[in-house]
Amino acid sequence: MGTTFSQMVPPSPPLTEKNLPNQSGKVFIVTGGYSGIGYHLSAILYNAGAKVYVAGRTESVALKAIEEIKASSPSATGSLAYLPLDLADLSTIKASVEKFESLETKLHVLWNNAGISQPPAGTTTAQGYEAHIGINCLGPLLFTQLLLPSLRASTDPSEPASTRVVWTSSLMVDLSAPTGGFEMNAVQNPPKDPIANYILSKTGNWFLASELGRVVSPYGILSLTQNPGNLKSNLLRHSWWMYYLAFPMLYDSKFGAYTELWAGLSPMLDMAHSGAYLLPWGRVNSEPRMDLIYASRGTSEDGGTGRAAEFYDWCEDQIREFK
């Protein structure tokens, strides 16, 4: 309960635009980087001198956001560019990665920031997957895996864990995820309740971060997930009643950018934190739910249930034809 309360009322952020080192020479991708948390994160990175690719589906909105950021910081030395990305259509993601690879040879940090929360019941992706699973899990996993060559190219043996993949989870995982995570039947036959599907997908993000960590750790790439915090953003645009009910406990979305900033760039994180779950506004969760930790362990021999691996393998099966 103490950890849950501290996520709702966090201590001051340890890493902000005020003490962020210069990021010149670094290349970053922020999915959903033109609104809410992603907008603030893109602006902070741009002002720190980085080359930032703002990835998302709506080009006009992205270009407007880019111009706004540039206009607000005329002396910034970074760069901003739009990268087309539709996480709701797996058949388009490879082209997005090829576009990036035509422009860059390295990628230092990928922030899987974009996501949806509680669209109308029955909403599906282009391939017919329940929207939360498709957009929050399958699309980001395919995008991440296709970007692994660029991520590997940026690793530096003298700075282990400086290349990272940051996933986005939610406080709802701590509060409401089923014991042990979820059964695969709930993924393959999604319930009609959008809230249940959102929680499933955010638990899935932690599982994907943990399992991807096993794959990329040998290359010095750190994969982890974070709860950005309780924020005033458009994530709850489909659940206005929940937004107004929670409003007194919500923070400006810029604070969520501080959580993601710490996850992606804090020197306090190393390879020992592979698969870790981070808290607002930049802390390692020292008291994670043990049933979810057990779910993230591979087999009964190492004290785990293997549910995270089962989910990761299922996701792999769904995206394989689109690589």
pLDDT of residue 244: 43
- The torsion angle over the Cα atoms of residues 293, 297, 302 and 305, rounded to 10 degrees, is 90
Q: Which of 42, 154, 169, 296 is catalytic?
A: 169
95-152 pLDDT tens trace: 999 999 999 999 999 999 999 988 988 999 999 999 999 999 999 999 999 999 999 9
Q: Which of 39, 46, 198, 251 is catalytic?
A: 198
Topology of the domain comprising 19-319:
Rossmann fold (3.40.50)
Question: Has 42 been annotated as catalytic?
Answer: no
pLDDT of residue 54: 98
Question: Has 129 been annotated as catalytic?
Answer: no
C-alpha to C-alpha distance for 23 and 151, rounded to whole angstroms: 16
C-alpha to C-alpha distance for 43 and 1, rounded to whole angstroms: 34
C-alpha to C-alpha distance for 116 and 170, rounded to whole angstroms: 12
pTM: 0.93
C-alpha count within 13 angstroms, C-beta hemisphere, residue 200? 25
Query: How far from chain centre, in Å, is Cα 284?
Result: 16
pLDDT of residue 231: 73
Question: Has 251 been annotated as catalytic?
Answer: no
pLDDT of residue 240: 45
Q: Which of 26, 51, 202, 254 is catalytic?
A: 202
**Ordered DSSP codes for 63-129:** HHHHHHHHHH-TT---EEEEEE--TT-GGGHHHHHHHHHHH-S--SEEE--------STT-B-TTS-
pLDDT of residue 171: 85
Would you kindly state where each structural domain of the chain is located, as residue ranges?
19-319
Question: pLDDT 10s digit of each residue in the chain, 323 long?
Answer: 446 666 767 889 999 999 999 999 999 999 999 999 999 999 999 999 999 999 999 999 999 999 999 999 999 999 999 999 999 999 999 999 999 999 999 999 999 999 998 898 899 999 999 999 999 999 999 999 999 999 999 999 999 999 999 999 998 888 889 999 999 999 999 999 998 999 999 999 999 999 999 999 999 999 999 999 987 655 444 444 444 444 446 779 999 999 999 999 999 999 999 999 999 999 999 888 999 999 987 655 566 899 999 999 999 999 999 99
pLDDT of residue 6: 65
Tell me the two tokens of residue 60.
């006009």
